[in-house]
Every structure is written in C-alpha cells, then in structure tokens.
A and B are shown apart, each in its own frame.
Chain A
Amino acid sequence: MRAKMRKRGERGDRGDERAVSAGASERSGRPRYEDGRAASAAPKRTRNIAGVGGWRVGALLFPALLGLTVFVLGPALVSAFTAGTDKTLTGPSFQWVGTANLREAFHDPDFGKSVVNTLLYCVLTVVPAVVVGLALALATQKVVRGRGALRLALFLPVSANLVAIAVVFAYMFDPSPKGLVNTFIGWLGAQPRNWLGDESTSLPVVALVGGWRLTSFVFVVYLAGLTAIPASVYEAADVDGIRGFARLRHVTLPLLAPTTIFLAVFTTILTLQTFETVAVLTDGGPFRSSATIVYYIFEVGFTGSFRIGYASALALLLILGIVLIGIVGSVLGRRARERAARIDETGAGLGADGDPGLALAGVGAGPGIAAEAAR
C-alpha cells in the first residue's frame, strides 16, 4: 500500500504541482502561471500548495501509519482472526474452530448476564448524565460573576483520575453503618446497606461513579454547543416574543439536538466499554451482578484459562454493537443537523459543517475530539 501511495505522490509532484499553484494564486487574486492550466475545478484541498510530493509524502506519513498499523489496525485484524480459533495465552498451538466461539457466546449465561448488566449500566449513566449535564450547562449560561470558578468545579470530575475516584467512592459506600453514605441514609431513617456487596445495589453504585464523571463530560460538550449558538438567533426569537421556557423548547433545544444526539451516541459507546470502575470497585461481583462486557472479556482472556480466542470473539461482538450504534447515531445526527440548520435562519451557518462519521471518530478520545465531533 505504501509503495503505491508513494508512486502516486510522485506523479502528483510532477504533474499537478504547477497547475495547483496556479489555482491557488487565482484564488488569492495574483496573476496565473504562464501555462495557465485551469485548476479551478479542483476543490481547495486537492491543490498541492505545500509543494510536497514523492517519497517525502511517504516519509511524513510513515511513522504515524506504522504505529497505527502495528498497534491498532493489525491487532484488530489479528483479533478478528483469533476469534475463530481456540487460542489460549499460555498454550503454544491452536486450531481454527470457525464460528464455535460465537455460538458459545450466545449460549454463555455469564456473557448474557454481562450484556444485561452493561445495558443497564448504560441506561443508568447516560440518561441522567445527559439530562443533568444539559441542566447544568443551561444554568451556568447566565452566570457572570464566578463563572470561571463555577465551570472549573463542574469540569473537575472529567479531569479526575478514575481509579483514584473509584477508591474514594469505595469507602464512601463502605458497608459500615459509619460510612458516609450509610450515615446519610441513617439520618433519613434507612438501614445501612452493604452497597457494593449486595447484588441489587452493586451495579447502580458502579454506575453512579461512572455517571458522576460522565455528567461533567456532558456538561463540557453542551457548554461548547451553547457557545456556538449565535446571539442573533436569540435576538430573532426575542423579537418574535419567544422567551423563557418557550425559547428553550423551540429554539435552544432543537439547536442543541445535534449535540444531544452526538452525546447520546458517544456516551453510550463509551459506557459500553466500562472497565476500570468495575475492576477497582467490585471485580464484577457479587455473583456477577456488576460484571460488564469488557470486564468479562478481561476475565476470559487474562485470567483463569486465558482463552484469548473466545475473548476475541466476544470483543468482535462488542465492536459490531458499537459500529451499529455509531451508524444509527450518524444518521440521526445528520437529520438533527439539517433541522437545526433550518431553525437557524440567521444564516450563521450553525450545524452546516456536519461531517458524518465524525461522531464515530470521537470514540475513545478526550472531550476535545468530542466537542469537535459534536459539530
């Protein structure tokens, strides 16, 4: 692939370079080059303004592509292959077993339990996080004095070290009647509970830790979304007498809809991969009541009999789920952006720059990508 790319780069170097420069200078109003070849048909991005070509293109790309190929793309393909084998981490030899692993997954009660747990976890974290995060972002909007400190406080959970915070939550939810949470519910007249050691509360408590952090993340993204709404839209609404709750319902929320859909998709994908909090707080217990999909994959592949073949098959199913959600989100997102663009009659261009698939691209990255992809 690399060789091909380089060859094409060379050709571009010789053939298109001058035409491209001509196009660029045309745009900037300077005289064209003598050969006068029209480059106007080419969109901006295809003009080689940098004048770089040949082997140098390959050299610039090589380190990045090497890293991604060796440590991400390659492993993903290897993983897809391993999913069809009975490979273990310790055993030297393995055999192709076809779809046996996938069939096993569909009859594996522990996997079924982890899927149910993960979906429950998603609902318990995503819905409250999006609602509360939006409420907080809207509420901070009009604050002028202390706005910086306020935002900082609400940003903090995002920057927290998840493991450290999970440790703190672990003793806040200590089963002892003197634990922080048990003391609090004691005031309300309730009996102390063994929060993390009880099948009915272990998952909700883990979800609380995840949701606490996710809310802050949602807040950050909504804040970016709100700042992108041009003042002129609000002015127009005000002229039309649309204020207060009506404005929230008919102007702000529809304009934020692309952000909301992005957030719903992104945070769902994020929570489908929950691992750290479970590993630190409960080890999936008690009785698998808090084991998520990724935690189960970890257990299958890296503990016990180290069945990485089966673990890869489970991971493959997870990726399929993620891609599916991403595609649905991408379609919904495009529709929401179109609607938002119609509401924004001021022509400020809100929501015009929606790159389908970008929401997908934000997976696993920080809030920066998220904010970017939210556009």
Chain B
Amino acid sequence: MTQPSAPQPSVPQSSAPQPSVTEPSVGQPAGREAGAPAPRAGRRGRGRLAGLAGRAVVLALGVFFALLPFVWMARTAFGPSQSALSLTANPIPESVSFHAFQRAFEEAHLGRALVTGIVVSLAILVLQLLTAIPAAYVFAWVPFRGRAAVFGLVLATLLVPSQVTAIPNYVTISALGFANTRVGLVLPFMTSAASIFLLRQYMTTIPVSVLEAARMDGLGLLRTLRTIVVPLSMPAIATVSVFSFLLSFNEYLWPLLEARSPEIHTPPLALVTMMNSPSMGLPDFAVLSAGALIISLPSLVVFLVAQRRLTAGLTGTGVGG
C-alpha cells in the first residue's frame, strides 16, 4: 500500500455502502444493514445515491488536482527538451528519455546538492534528538520548581517566525566563523521546541510502574534513558525524525541567506539557481522538471516509507484519545 504507482485509487461508488471504520454496522438498526444493495432502493435510497455520487465527484476531483502537478512534472521530465517557445500541453510526451535527468545533474550540480542536503538534514536530526530526548524526559517526568514556566518558554519559541530569527542568526553564525559553511546550515536548527513537545507528550504515557521498576533495579539516569525511555518512545521518535528530516531538507530561506557559495547549496537552492540562470538561453523545462523530481524524491521516499509508522506515532502522542 505504500506503492506510489496508484494514481487512480478506486473511487467509492462500489465500496461506499460497506461499513466504514467510524460507523461500524454493529448496533445499527436492521434497516441499515450495510453491504446489501436492497435498502438503497427505499425512500432514503435516492438521497444516499446522490450522496455517493457527490462523494465520488469530490474524491475524483481531489485526487486529480492533487496529482496533476506531480504527473505534469514527471511527464515533462521524461519528455524531450521544452523551452518557453516550444511548450506543449500534450499529456503524452513525443519521446521518452532520461536525458533531462542527466543534464539536471550536470547543470545544477544536483548530486553535490543532494549530498549536502541529506548530510545537513541528518546532522540536524541527530542534534535535535540528542537535545530533545533528555529535555522531553525532564518535562515529562522530572519535576522541579518553575518547570511549567520553562516549558511554557520552550513552547513560546514556536511562536517566533523563522524570518525573524534569520537576521540575528546570520550575525551569530558569522561571528562564530561559520558563515557560508555546512556547519552554519546545521547549527540554528540544533534543537526544536516542536520535537521536545511531541516527545514529551508521548513520554508521559510511559507507565509509572516501568520507571519505578527501573529505579528499584538501580538503573542510572543514562541507562534508564537508553534502555527504557528511548525504546518505549520509539514511535514518537520515528515521527519526530521524519518531520525533522522533511522540514530541514525542504528549508529554503536559511540556506538562501547562509549558503552563498554554490558548493554548499542545498537541493531547493540549486534548483532555483538553475531556473534563474540557465546555462544557455531560455530555461529548459524538461531539465527543470527533472531537477524538481530529483529533489522531491528523498522527501517522497521518506514520507512513503514512514507513512504507516507516522500515523501510529501520532496516535501515541495523545491524538488517538
């Protein structure tokens, strides 16, 4: 079910009368026994049919527009060269090739950018986990006077738009001598209040008895964290990791300010640079699409792989009631 190649999922016409998750047939009056087409013929039948048709239309349109940019991106990337003068709206490419991908890699130095993007995002992720897990543990289980105030302060940092901190951060990073370096791309994101918050919410669900037992067994702080808290919080850690990676990999404003030299451009920056200064003449949309597709892939892969776990992790953070 995590295969991306299902652009036309079955629209609900056939399946809608079946019982749904939120509406189990258990306990429903006999007249609404789901599945059988017979009850639909009744007075309420026409209304239900109209509702079904409405749903089908909404879903078909929704899926169409959700996928259109992706489909168009792929169609253009695999098709022949296209400039503003030779645009086409023909959904079937005249010829299919990987040529545009090759050129995107060469012209936008996408290979280099991808390495930078992945390394920077992973470094941010590791730092965030190292800083957030201990802090989340304290906010969940270690009381001290003023904890509520400190936690409130942590949450308040979520209010500050990144554009506001960008200016002083640029000054700080420059003063530390990290301007225009990969370290400078990582440091400002070394911790995340959002990660602390999510992890803390999840950690509060660890049973008291487990922590008590750990304590009676004489487990030290670090061992408790390593052998009890972290393994038990794995779903939340996975969720936080995925969001962290996606956010850092797609970050645009900070690299735009910080990474002045093309050698340390992140993927989005490399793509925009290529768009604004094509190597010759007009931008080639095939190459741009190939580039867009390439830089979208890491996020999509992470998202697809993590999709199921993500929902599980979210449920654990208190969403599941």
Contacts and interface: CB of A to CB of B under 8 A. Distances in A.
A46 B141 CA distance: 8
Contacts of A60: 134-135, 137-138, 142, 221
Contact of A155 (B142, B145, B307): B307
Given A52-B142, A75-B169, A180-B89, A146 B15 contact: yes
A190 interface: no
Contacts of B233: none
A276 B58 contact: no
Contacts of A68: 153-154, 157, 191, 193
B190 A67 contact: yes
Given A50-B137, A154-B66, A235-B27, A28 B209 contact: yes
A265 interface: no
Interface string B212-224: 1001000001001
Contacts of B73: 164-165, 168
Given A25-B212, A216-B66, A368-B314, A348 B131 contact: no
B168 interface: yes
Interface string A137-148: 011111111111
A172 B307 contact: no
A165 B272 CA distance: 11
Interface string A174-188: 111011101110000
Nearest to B194: A365
A47 B143 contact: yes
Contacts of A24: 208, 212
A50 B135 contact: no
Interface in B212-264: 212, 215, 221, 224, 239-240, 243, 246-247, 249-250, 252-253, 256-257
B42 interface: no
A311 B18 CA distance: 57
Nearest to A12: B144
B194 A366 contact: yes
A4 to B, nearest CB: 7
A174 B87 contact: yes
Interface string B131-172: 110110110011111100010011111111111110111101
A111 interface: no
B100 interface: no
B29 to A, nearest CB: 7
The interface residues of chain A, by DSSP majority, are classed as helix
B268 A164 contact: yes
Contacts of A63: 130-131, 134-135, 190-191
B125 interface: no
Contacts of B267: 161
A285 interface: no
A365 B158 CA distance: 8
A318 B170 CA distance: 20
B179 interface: no
Contacts of B44: 243-244
A207 to B, nearest CB: 14
B280 interface: no
A50 B224 contact: yes
B72 A146 contact: no
A51 B215 contact: yes
B63 interface: yes
Nearest to B69: A168
Interface stretch (A90-98, A198-206, A296-304): A296-304
Interface in B107-136: 127, 130-132, 134-135
Nearest to B224: A50
A51 B220 CA distance: 10
A183 B72 CA distance: 14
A369 B197 contact: yes
A287 interface: no
B12 A153 contact: no
B196 interface: yes
Interface in A316-368: 316, 318-319, 322-323, 326, 348-350, 353, 357, 360-368
B194 A167 contact: no
Given A25-B212, A163-B271, A361-B158, A349 B321 contact: yes
A364 B288 contact: no
A352 to B, nearest CB: 9
Contact of A375 (B18, B19, B169, B318): B318
Given A64-B132, A235-B28, A163 B252 contact: yes
Contact of B62 (A136, A364, A375): A136
A65 interface: yes
Q: Which of A65, A67, A169, A302 has the most CB of B within 10 A?
A: A67
A74 interface: yes
A76 interface: yes
A76 B193 CA distance: 15
B180 interface: no
Interface of A: 4-5, 8-9, 11-12, 16, 20-21, 24-25, 27-28, 44-53, 56-57, 59-61, 63-68, 70-76, 78-79, 82, 89, 132, 135-136, 138-150, 152-157, 159-165, 167-172, 174-176, 178-180, 182-184, 212, 216, 219, 224, 226-231, 234-235, 238-239, 243-244, 273, 275-276, 279-280, 294, 297-298, 301-302, 308, 311-312, 315-316, 318-319, 322-323, 326, 348-350, 353, 357, 360-369, 371-372, 375
Given A68-B191, A142-B55, A171-B87, 7 more contacts: A12-B145, A48-B141, A139-B59, A169-B69, A216-B66, A276-B252, A311-B167
8 tightest Cβ-Cβ pairs between the two chains A and B: A67-B191, A183-B89, A75-B168, A149-B9, A64-B135, A146-B10, A164-B292, A365-B194
20 contacts: A11-B145, A48-B143, A50-B215, A50-B221, A52-B138, A53-B142, A57-B142, A63-B191, A64-B154, A75-B169, A153-B7, A164-B271, A168-B72, A180-B87, A243-B44, A311-B167, A315-B167, A362-B158, A365-B194, A366-B194
